[in-house]
Amino acid sequence: MKKKSPIAAFFSSREGALAIFVILCFVILCVTTNLIGSLFVYLRDLSYLLVGGLALMMVILLGEIDISSGTVLGLIGFCSFTLVQKGVPLVICILVGILVGMLNSFVVGFITVRFRVPSMIVSLAMVKLHIGLFSLLPNAGYVSNIRPEITNIGTLRIGTIPVMLLIAFALTVFFCWLMKYTPYGRKVYAVGGSAESAVLAGINSDKIKLQTYLISGALLGITAAMYWLPKTQVQPSSCNGMEMYFLPIAVVGGVNIMGGSGRPIGILVASFLIALLQRASYLLDLGTQWMYLSYGIIVLIAVYTMFAEIPFLKKGRNAMKGGESSAQ
């Protein structure tokens, strides 16, 4: 049987169908709004949404969840940019932010793995801890008057393309390779598919979960840097609820909420869509209520298509699962 070309195979998959929908929405918005005029802002927002989506993807692949992935961005922003205001080199400040993200995710992962507490409960507790902590920080965590030489780094561009987007794309390519071609990636899919079977196959599922939480935390640290760098001030509480950007990206991108399947390429396509909806709500002056409504609708549709018997989507899912199974 003649093998499909990679492009044909992609557009016959779930991610390909989503990509066609995103392209149509993009064209419609270009015609009806000034999207082209604000293309840089759209792509800049896409950068942190993509990396945040990858962070949540890693956890959901395990069959877990981390709803503290939003509020922790505020904590990371405070820690990193307080150091920036004290004159600490930016690279070190970003590394500190990554470590804060990893520490937060390690706490969630450790309690989940060690004491078998559902990750939703643990991460919800971390959300409440973050929100309570914000009010106890100096100036409620508010960091103002960030120097222009710092914010200019967040707006570096090559033409209309933000440098941060190139970094996000590079991370996506790396995770495509990591999840498909490395023993670690195969083990993540195995643990997410069935932790019991993974243990019988000789995989240390607890170790894989902790490693994955740490990787997710590092990605959240990078997400926070991308989110805060272009801004002249940090207000941690403004990140409350931001996990509701990352969760739709993961679900719409095809990551099975039960764990065990999903690909970074799906996160890439879904990030374009969520960033597009976010930009459209501003350009059309619809308000955040319509943006969140659209998020809810597309998540419900995504969950339905994930489990419904839709012929061409089912074929694409089976192909994807087959590839992941063979990888395992």
Structure tokens at 50: 């993509």
- List CB contacts of 62: < 8 A, sequence separation 6 or more: 188, 191, 192, 208, 209, 212, 259
Longest dimension (CA), the chain: 66
Task: Please report, rounded to a whole number, the percentage of residues in the chain having pLDDT higher than 90.
Answer: 79
- 91-100, 127-136, 279-288: lowest mean pLDDT where? 279-288
13 in any annotated domain: no
CA angle, 21 then 25 then 31, to 5°: 150
What's the average model confidence in pLDDT over 254-266? 93
> Strand, helix or coil at 262?
coil
Residue with tokens 């590092």: 218
HSE value, Cβ hemisphere, 13 Å, CA-based, for 235: 6
- 123-132, 275-284, 314-323: lowest mean pLDDT where? 314-323
Pairwise CA distance, residues 241 & 247, whole Å: 10
Dihedral Cα 25, 244, 168, 189, nearest 10 deg: -110
How far lies 120's CA from each of 51, 125, 217, 326, in Å?
21, 9, 16, 30
Q: Are 104 and 126 in contact (CB under 8 A)?
A: yes
Express each pLDDT in 202-239 by its tens digit: 999 999 999 999 999 999 999 999 999 999 999 999 99
Does the pLDDT of residue 99 top 90, yes or no? yes
Q: Cβ of 63: how many Cβ atoms within 10 Å?
A: 18
CA 269 remoteness from chain centre: 12
Task: Please report, rounded to a whole number, the percentage of residues in the chain having pLDDT higher than 70.
Answer: 92
Which residue in 237, 266, 224, 235 sits closest to 249, CA to CA? 266
Q: Which helix (H) or strand (E) holds 162?
A: strand 161-162
Residue with tokens 């079977």: 197
5 in any annotated domain: no
Does the pLDDT of residue 307 top 80, yes or no? no
169 in any annotated domain: yes
Structure tokens at 121: 């409960």
Does the pLDDT of residue 320 top 60, yes or no? no
User: How high does pLDDT run on average in the chain?
Assistant: 90
Q: Cβ of 294: how many Cβ atoms within 10 Å?
A: 18
Express each pLDDT in 2-32 by its tens digit: 666 777 777 777 788 889 999 999 999 999 9
How far lies 243's CA from each of 4, 70, 129, 311, in Å?
37, 4, 15, 32
Pairwise CA distance, residues 165 & 149, whole Å: 19
Residue 251 maps to which CATH number?
1.10.3470
Does the pLDDT of residue 316 top 60, yes or no? no
Residues facing residue 162 across a β-bridge? 157
Total number of domains constituting the chain: 1
Structure tokens at 197: 């079977």
Query: Which residue segment(s) compose the domain that 193 sits in?
Result: 23-140+150-229+238-327
69 in any annotated domain: yes
132 in any annotated domain: yes
172 in any annotated domain: yes
Does the pLDDT of residue 328 top 70, yes or no? no
Q: Are 267 and 50 in contact (CB under 8 A)?
A: yes
145 in any annotated domain: no
48 in any annotated domain: yes
